[in-house]
Amino acid sequence: MRTKSNLKKLLEDRQMSLYKLQQLTKISYSNLHKYNNDETKRFDNEVLAKICSALKCEIGELLIIEK
């Protein structure tokens, strides 16, 4: 099983850029880029909380478990 980031789809659905998300969350652009391209091996709880807050979504919408 693998945990996958769904950030790219959430941003597309909300017509929001990665740059705008960076402004809202104050998370580094390079870190968000890794989440956006599903290049993150470990997910930071604080980062996830900030992203979910900015996108008004639940953690289950942001992270997907693939079998």
CATH code (residue 60): 1.10.260.40
> φ and ψ at 37, to 5 degrees?
-100, 15
- Please give the DSSP secondary-structure letter assigned to residue 52: H
Please report, as a single letter, which amino acid is at residue 48: L
Please report, as a single letter, which amino acid is at residue 34: K
Cα–Cα distance measured from residue 26 to residue 20, given in angstroms and rounded to the nearest whole number: 10
Task: Give 21: exposed, middle or buried? Use CB within 10 Å, 0-12, 13-18, 19+.
Answer: buried
**Count of structural domains, the chain:** 1
- Residues 20-35: tens digit of each pLDDT: 999 999 999 999 999 9
Percent of residues, the chain, with pLDDT higher than 70? 100
pTM over the 0.95 mark? no
> How many residues in the chain?
67
Which domain covers residue 50, as residue numbers? 2-66
More confident position, 20 or 41:
20
